[in-house]
Amino acid sequence: MTKQPCSTFHPVVHHPEPLPVFDFTEAFDPDEINRQGWGIGRYDERRVQTMYNNADLYDEARCIHIGIDIWGPAGTPVHAFAPGHVYAVEHHNSPRNYGPTVITEHEVNGATLWALHGHLSKETLEHVRPAMPVESGDVIGWFGEENENGGWPPHLHFQLSRKEPVDGDMPGVVAPMDRDAALNTYPDPRQVLGPLY
């Protein structure tokens, strides 16, 4: 993806500024996240394994986060950053997975780019459908409660991909040995979200 000014993209989430940046390299404290109310989880962060304990799809080797998390209140609207269409709508409902998920497809600077929006509400699943066109700024979902979003404090996992997703999914964390390839396939979401940190 050729770099395009972030100001040309619609905000994916309207949030207060500045947002605190959480450090998950040594600890994960859901109570602290809930107390803060809003925050950012970083891209390309080597996260503590306790974040992913008891998850069906993560093993001990996968700890590099390749999306950005925007933590905030359940019910927060999630917007399309650019015109495109809904590529996939899935409910990844195993513990510590994405829960309700929407992937959109966009043309950016002549290249196809997919965006995953994970940890949404079940209401989202009734709001969008595959192949539905979206305009910049359209609401495509809402942050889900912990009991519906995979078991996390409410937030959005936002991830970009240069590669067409399979089965309405993208790996949110990868093993250190796969980091370089993953960062090439899944570029820094700040190219769309702006300089959050």
Give pLDDT, residue 52. Answer: 77
Give residue 90's pLDDT band: very low, low, confident or very high (50, 70, 90): very high
Domain residue extents for the chain: 16-193
Residue 4 has pLDDT above 80, yes or no: no
Give residue 95's pLDDT band: very low, low, confident or very high (50, 70, 90): confident
Residue 194, Cβ density class (10 Å: 0-12 exposed, 13-18 middle, ≥19 buried): middle
Residue 154, CA distances (Å) to 29, 43, 89 in order? 13, 18, 19
Does the 16-193 domain belong in CATH 2.70.70.10?
yes
Give pLDDT, residue 158. Answer: 98
* pTM of the complete model: 0.94
54-74 pLDDT, tens digit each: 555 455 578 999 999 999 999
Which tokens belong to 84?
């495109």
Nearest to 188 by CA among 64, 82, 42, 13: 42
Please say whether the beta carbons of 187 and 163 come within 8 A. Answer: no
Per-residue pLDDT, averaged over 75-103, amounts to 96
Amino acid identity for residue 116 in this structure: L
Using DSSP's 3-state secondary structure scheme, residue 104 falls into strand
Residue with tokens 């950005």: 68
Q: β-pairing, 68-71 with 39-41? A: antiparallel
pLDDT, mean over the chain = 92
Phi, psi of 93 (to 5 degrees): -100, 15
Q: How far apart are CA 33 and CA 141, in angstroms?
A: 21
Instruction: Among 55-64, 70-79, 177-186, name the one with the lowest average pLDDT.
Output: 55-64
Per-residue pLDDT, averaged over 108-119, amounts to 96
Per-residue pLDDT, averaged over 114-135, amounts to 98
Total H helices, total E strands in the chain: 4, 13
